[in-house]
Amino acid sequence: MDAKTYLGYLHDDATALGTAAARAPAAAVAPCPGWVAADLVAHTGQLYQWVDAIVGAGGERVTRRTLPPGPPADPEGIDRLVEWQRQTLQQMLSRLGEADPDQPAWNFGASGDHRVGFWCRRMANETAVHRWDAQSAATPGTVGPIAPELAVDGIDEYFAEFLPPKLEPGGVDGIGGSLHLHATDVTGEWWLDLTGGAVEPRREHAKADAAVRATASDLLLWLWNRVPATPDRFEVFGRRDTINGWVTITI
């Protein structure tokens, strides 16, 4: 997926996140204990400020302590908060859109890909999941799935950038063997070994100790512990301990 496509998804999901939160800013966000919908707006706006500064730093690390003032302090001012978030979004989108995706940019990913393109991808995927969080909390009747193309990319990103540190060096208690994920609505299959050490997922159909079939959106949401693998949305085969134990992975 190219940078322009990532930024298009990012814009749309960030806008939808703010719209949802504005309708019920005090709604509790179950996947983020202690947070309400308004906190998602503040969180994403602060991320956009940070990424804008990172990309502008040309490869140097930027700490959040050096950022400009954050969101409006008035907890009741949801409209002002959403407007502030959208301003930070537009500033970051302009920075990312003008940058060469291959130019240096510090990041925290496990793959070591320190380029601007990392942040186009990361912000699109992070915002998509938090948009789902906001809609689930504030407007549950209007929750849309993550776009299949973006969800497949998000699964690739999760395995490349976030899962490896959790499985090194000794793995995670209660999770072992091999796992196969199969998207049912778009081309996408993954096989990986969860026993510890280097994580090298293979994009292929292969027998595994545990297998999960669902839409790409639901697979990504399951990986991020947003939804459980319930029979109404998932087909699960093999080792249930691996599937049930996934909730122990928190990032």
Answer with the residue of higher pLDDT: 250 or 56: 56
**Which residues is 175 bridged to in the sheet?**
172
Does 8 share its domain with 130?
yes
Paired residues of 192 in beta bridges: 179
Range of the domain at 231: 167-248
Q: Nearest CA to 1 among 117, 112, 144, 160?
A: 117
**Residue 197 clears pLDDT 80, i.e. is over it:** no
Q: Write down which residue in 76, 109, 142 finishes a domain.
A: 142
Which tens digit of pLDDT belongs to each residue from 3-31? 999 999 999 999 999 999 999 999 999 99
Residues 132 and 244 in one domain: no
Question: What is the rounded average pLDDT of the residues 96-118?
Answer: 96
Same-domain status, 120 and 28: yes
Per-residue pLDDT for 250 more than 70?
no
Q: What's the token pair of residue 202?
A: 């293979």
Q: Does 152 reside within a domain?
A: no
Do 123 and 215 fall into the same domain?
Answer: no
Name beta bridge partners: 181. Answer: 190, 212
CA distance 219 to 239: 17
Domain presence at residue 148: no
One domain for residues 175 and 118 = no
Residues 137 and 15 in one domain: yes
Q: Is 223 exposed, middle or buried, given 0-12, 13-18 or 19+ CB atoms closer than 10 A?
A: buried
Give me the CATH number covering residue 98: 1.20.120
pLDDT attached to residue 76: 64
Q: Residue 161 falls within a domain, yes or no? A: no
C-beta neighbour count of 232 within 10 angstroms: 4
Last residue of a domain, one of 126, 142, 158: 142
Query: 219-239, pLDDT tens digit by residue?
Result: 999 999 999 999 999 999 999
In a domain, 153, yes or no: no
Beta strands in the chain (DSSP E): 178-183, 189-193, 210-214, 235-238
Q: Is residue 189 part of a domain?
A: yes
- Measured CA to CA in angstroms, residue 163 lies from 55, 74, 249 at distances of 24, 37, 9
pLDDT of 170 > 80? The answer is no
Both 127 and 175 in one domain: the answer is: no
Q: pTM of this prediction?
A: 0.94
Q: Which of 117-126, 167-176, 236-245 has the highest mean pLDDT?
A: 117-126
Domain identity same for 41 and 126: yes
Residue 203 clears pLDDT 90, i.e. is over it: yes
pLDDT above 60 for 75: no
pLDDT confidence tier of residue 114, bands split at 50, 70 and 90: very high
Is residue 245 within 8 A of residue 172, CB to CB? The reply is yes
pLDDT at res. 168: 65
pLDDT at 72: 79
127 with 25, same domain: the answer is yes
Q: What contacts 20, CB < 8 A, 6 or more positions away?
A: 37, 131, 134, 135, 137, 138, 139, 142
Give the pair of three-digit tokens for residue 51.
């990424």
Query: One-letter amino acid identity for 67?
Result: L
Q: In this predicted structure, what is the pLDDT of residue 224?
A: 96
| pLDDT for the residue 251 | 53
Q: Is the pLDDT of residue 57 over 90?
A: yes
Provide the number of structural domains found in the chain: 2
The pLDDT of residue 242 is: 84
**What is the overall mean pLDDT for the chain?**
92
CATH number of the domain at 176, please.
Answer: 3.30.1050.10
Structural tokens at position 174:
């209660």
In this structure, of 69-73, 124-128, 162-166, the range with the lowest mean pLDDT score is 69-73
